[in-house]
Amino acid sequence: MGSVEQRGILVKSLEAVIGAKPLRHIFVLTLVLLLSLAIGCRHQFETSSIPQSRVEEVIERASREDPSPAPEIEASANETEPPSPDASSSGDSEVSNDDSSLSSATEAIAAEREDSTSTTAGTEQDPSERFLLLTRDGPLVVEVVLRIDGEPYTRALEQLVEQAMHDLNEGDPEGLTWEAAIENPNFAFGQYGNLASEDADQKRQLIEMYDTNRDGLVNRDELPRFLTRNVGGSRAFSLRSSNEFRGDNRTRSHVRRLLDADHDGAITIEEMQAAPQRLFERDADDDEILVLADFKDSVEQTQPQMSNQRRVNAPDTAILISERTRWSYVSYALQETYAYGERVQANDMPLTPELVTLLDENNNAFIDSNEVSTLAKVPPHLILEVAFSNSDDAAMPKPPSIKILAASETLTSVLDTTRQDTSHLSFRLPGADVKFFVNEDPSLANVSQTVSAQFSSLDADNNGYLESDEYPGQLLAIQIPFEGIDRDGDGKIYENEVRALVRQRQAAIRAQIRARAADQEDALYTALDTNGDGRLTAREIYGAPRILHDLDENEDGKLQSHEIPGTMAVGFVRGDANQDNALLVMPAIPIRGDVESIPTWFLGMDTNGDGDISPREFLGASDKFERLDKDEDGFVSADEAKRLLAE
């Protein structure tokens, strides 16, 4: 039927409804007009002269993913908002999936996913955190099992909230107001580490800050913010990510610039051989140990080892995967990091190409934006365990630890060369050196001993308690009035009251684990630091020519910046958030090992504590040094010294 005939019928229909009841008239008139418009649009489309190729181009463009710009993320937590519904993918693709090997691999991975789901269903697992680590050659899905005193990490904060609710309520569990909570004698002086109010204006500000639902009442969801001062998003675990050095920690390497004597952008064979001499020129204190600050010519050396800065509109180093994840940002980060803003396919991620198969639900060989949320379910490439202890009264406090629980086949060969210690582990991927470590605020250890020492120094008359004239207004850097510690109000402060206050103040700190992921500042420095202790020892400095030569991938006699492997680190810490820049530093590795089995003369000569005795440190004759140096590597190691002792 032609368009003219159709419109004629519509006109007659319109005439027929004239005189009908007003409501029916309006309804029918509207319906007829809409139908007429639809018919006109269809006719115009059918008679259009747009070439078919142009139509296909428009459809193809519409079906492709349009990467959204990177959002500005609050630097304090790297958290994301709940995902909004993504538009469904068109599913149209000309990529053939006839390859039998690809089909077999897909079926095997799907079966593995089903087996993994079935084995975990119905079983209670320790709570863990998952994040995406954007390494140079592909993203790694990392899962971390976190423990505090052998318990799931979430329990410590839950117990703190329960204790605080008990101290706040004191017999009246319902209807507790924020005004009453702030004035409560158990909290009024900041005994829990919370902010204390000194006047009515501060009280009003605190209520506005923590009463998030504006009902004037305290509830368990609001209380963590009050107890933690909103550190780490008031959660038991938080992750920050810095991208400040991402992509340029090779070109901006201080060590590379130093060794490139002619400044031509490459380290030649001659410059490689001269590397030890050039490096030792920066040994200002002449101890045969170099740290990164030795290579800086300005006040930059005051910057933290792991940056806490981020560049806007650039993907982060790591992204926390949780119920708050904004998947549109994850899609953007993958596209920008691995596909120059386009959709990601398997050959864009040589390290983890199987992720494309796992995520590609519509089988178009790409990762579409509505498919990235499956990252929350895929088997992780790496499972770590991070453990902290609260045994501050032990004679030997248990330090935090990190270890690998499991790894995928993708990382099996890499992990064969893992450098691991109680506090850190590292491994080298094809395009990057990856480090994980744990650290803790030293003030959390030996609390009882520290309290006893300061209490004794203040108890001038040695009567076992402090009176108001003996109290200086603070203890262990905790500023709190006398009555805030004197819980029973007897005018005396006993040591056990001080100990209880310190533990209470530290409870929120101990209940939160914070992580930071960042590309490290100087990639070549990290490559030369073969034992991963954050220093360049004499052995590593003299071995620099060999390391530099091995990094020359194309063997053209020139080490270019793109041949230097990238380097990134992820640190897990506990302690005062204001000290994070000091805490997020790779802890030193105990190079010497079992000190008791090492000869005393060796410990005395190893003046810089690097675990080796160099010719400069050796106090005997040169022929004696040569006899001790069994492997003729130019150093006397602790093992060689112990071997002499055994003989």
The pLDDT of residue 378? 96
How many Cα neighbours within 13 Å face the side chain of 573? 27
In the predicted model, what is the mean pLDDT of the chain? 78
Q: Cβ atoms within 10 A of the Cβ of 223, count?
A: 22
With beta carbons less than 8 A apart as the criterion, state whether 291 and 535 touch.
yes
With beta carbons less than 8 A apart as the criterion, state whether 354 and 113 touch.
no
Tokens standing for residue 456? 């004794």
The pLDDT of residue 61? 36
Question: 33-39: long-range contacts (C-beta < 8 A, 24 or more apart)?
Answer: 35/10, 36/7, 36/10, 39/3, 39/6, 39/7, 39/10
Q: What value does the mean pLDDT take over residues 293-297?
A: 85
Query: Dihedrals φ, ψ of 278, to 5°?
Result: -65, -40
Task: Give the Cα separation of 645 and 647 in Å (integer).
Answer: 5
The pLDDT of residue 566? 85
Task: Give the Cα separation of 488 and 187 in Å (integer).
Answer: 15
The pLDDT of residue 23? 44
The pLDDT of residue 125? 67
Between residues 41 and 179, which one has the greater pLDDT? 179
pLDDT tens per residue across span 223-239:
999 999 887 788 999 99
Instruction: Identify the CATH assignment for 154-235 out of 1.10.238, 1.10.287, 2.60.40, 1.10.1070.
Output: 1.10.238
Q: Is the pLDDT of residue 92 over 70?
A: no
The pLDDT of residue 609? 83
Buried b (16+ CB within 10 A) or exposed e, 471-502: beeebbebebebebbbeeeeebbbbebbbebb
Q: For the chain, which residues make up each domain, given as ranges?
A: 3-48, 100-150+322-383, 154-235, 247-310+384-443+518-583, 595-646
The pLDDT of residue 230? 82
Tokens standing for residue 150? 């052998």
The pLDDT of residue 519? 87
Residue 580: its H or E element: helix 580-583
Tokens standing for residue 506? 């530290």
How many Cα neighbours within 13 Å face the side chain of 356? 22
* Overall pTM > 0.75: no
Between residues 54 and 18, which one has the greater pLDDT? 18
Task: Give the Cα separation of 448 and 458 in Å (integer).
Answer: 16
Domain 595-646 indexed as CATH 1.10.238.10: yes
Tokens standing for residue 271? 């410059």
Instruction: Report percent pLDDT > 90 for the chain.
Output: 40
Q: Is the pLDDT of residue 628 over 80?
A: yes
Q: Which residues contact 251 (CB under 8 A, 6 or more apart)?
A: 561
Q: What value does the mean pLDDT take over residues 30-48?
A: 47
Instruction: Report percent pLDDT > 70 for the chain.
Output: 74
Task: Give the Cα separation of 560 and 250 in Å (integer).
Answer: 9
Q: Where are the alpha helices (DSSP H) in 173-214?
A: 178-183, 200-210
Q: Return the minimum-mean-pLDDT range out of 155-164, 169-178, 285-294.
A: 169-178
The pLDDT of residue 353? 94
The pLDDT of residue 526? 87
Residue 496: its H or E element: helix 495-510
pLDDT tens per residue across span 371-426:
999 999 999 999 999 999 987 655 566 889 999 999 998 888 777 666 778 888 88
Q: Which residues contact 514 (CB under 8 A, 6 or more apart)?
A: 231, 232, 237, 238, 239, 240, 572, 573, 574, 577, 580
pLDDT tens per residue across span 107-154:
343 344 344 333 333 335 678 999 999 998 899 999 999 999 999 999
Task: Give the Cα separation of 460 and 303 in Å (integer).
Answer: 42
**pLDDT band at residue 314 under the 50/70/90 scheme:** confident
Crossing angle of helices 495-510 and 447-458, in 10° steps, is 140
The pLDDT of residue 591? 57
Task: Give the Cα separation of 252 and 492 in Å (integer).
Answer: 59
**pLDDT band at residue 536 under the 50/70/90 scheme:** very high
Q: Cβ atoms within 10 A of the Cβ of 66, count?
A: 9
Query: Dihedrals φ, ψ of 267, to 5°?
Result: -100, 110
154-235 and 595-646: identical CATH topology: yes
